[in-house]
Amino acid sequence: MMNSANNYLLTDALSAAELMGVGAVRSLDLLRDIDGTIDAVSHHARLFDAAEKVFSKIQASIASGDASKLIPEDDLIPVLESLQDKLVKSYSESKKKMACAVHDPRLTDDDGVVDAYEALLQSLESLNSTTEALRWSILESNADTEKGHTPKVLSESKDIDSFLDSL
């Protein structure tokens, strides 16, 4: 026998089932995962943005001719190149993760996961570009700072052979 209390519970259950059927109700675990993902991705983007600003200031200083001494490129250039390799790898991995977010049926545009990944990709791209500019500024500054040398003209075949062998 259906009394009014049971009828009320049945109505609530049907309403909940309808909401779940159209996706209006999502699990708290999913919402926590969304927030955690956005927080982590945004944190990384902020770190990359901060590094880009510092690198940009250093690059501008070097490019303006402020470096009066040789910059130790033997120490710095490999580090910058390694950083660029890591940035390219991180960009590729982040792009794949963003594609997963785009295709995840549990996520909506309003969730912000894809937007967070887009910001991260922009931060990675910007830092990589600035790192490249910094690397070239160091190399150009050192080339400009190095003292000139008097070229030696090699005219004897044995001198030319000796020089080529030394390479």
Per-residue pLDDT of the chain (167 residues; tens, 9 = 90+): 445 555 556 556 555 555 555 455 688 999 999 999 999 999 999 999 999 999 999 999 998 887 678 888 899 999 999 999 999 999 999 999 999 999 999 999 999 999 999 999 999 999 999 999 999 999 998 888 776 666 778 788 888 888 888 87
48, part of any domain:
yes
Residues with Cβ within 8 Å of residue 52, at least 6 apart in sequence: 123, 126, 127, 130
Which of 13, 49, 11 lies closest to 129, judged by CA? 49
Looking at residue 119, its pLDDT comes to: 99
Measure the CA–CA gap between 71 and 136, rounded to whole angstroms: 12
CA 17 – CA 13 distance, rounded (Å)? 6
**Boundaries of domain holding 64:** 27-145
pTM for this model (two decimals): 0.73
- For residue 1, tell me if it sits in a domain: no
**Residue 167 belongs to some domain of the structure:** no
The three-class DSSP label of residue 31 is helix
Query: How far lies 67's CA from each of 59, 125, 130, 141, in Å?
Result: 11, 27, 18, 7
Q: Is residue 35 part of a domain?
A: yes
- The amino acid occupying position 101 is A
The answer to whether residues 124 and 48 touch, using CB atoms and an 8 Å cutoff, is yes
Number of domains within the chain: 1
Domain annotation covers residue 158: no
HSE-up of residue 26 (Cα within 13 Å, Cβ side): 13
Residue 15 domain-assigned?
Answer: no
Asked whether residue 113 is domain-assigned, the answer is yes
Does residue 163 lie in a domain region? no
